[in-house]
Each structure stands twice: as C-alpha cells, then as structure tokens.
Amino acid sequence: MVIYLSGGKTFGLIIIGKMKIITKEEANFMSKPEGTKVWYYLRDEYEIHLNEQIPSSTQTWHHHEKICETLF
C-alpha cells in the first residue's frame, strides 16, 4: 500500500510494510530547460513525479512498459 503525504511545501511517500519515507529533500531533483522542475520519487516498480511547471511551457512525454508512473 502506498500513502502520499502532501501539505504546503512538503511532499512525502510512505510504503506500508517497509515504512520507507522519502522526503522532498531526499527525492531526485531536476530543473529542465523548458522551465519544469521535477522531484522524482523512484521505486523498483513505481515512479511518482512532483512537477512544477511554468505557464506556457511544454513537457516532453514518455511511457513505461513495466512500471507505473504518477504525476502531481
């Protein structure tokens, strides 16, 4: 079971069973040239992306064959 924690400027991920908490500071961060800021919460079979995107910008798209991905 996965629980998403969100409040203000904080975001975290809890995996029930393992109780692994990934804070925003621990997530992999990338600032892309088109203006998107992304925090990646990566697991073996799942990805969660927390995106901040400026108005009028574009986002490149892709897909995965073996994992699920959620964008916020």
* Domain boundaries, position 44: 2-71
User: Can you name the residues that pair with 71 across neighbouring β-strands?
Assistant: 49
Higher pLDDT, 25 or 70: 25
Q: Is it the case that residue 39 has pLDDT exceeding 80? A: yes
For the chain, how many structural domains are there in total? 1
Closest among 45, 36, 53, 47 to 69, alpha carbons compared: 47
Lowest mean pLDDT among 13-17, 23-27, 32-36, 48-52: 13-17
Q: How far apart are CA 58 and CA 20, in angstroms?
A: 33
pTM value is 0.61
Q: How far apart are CA 62 and CA 23, in angstroms?
A: 25
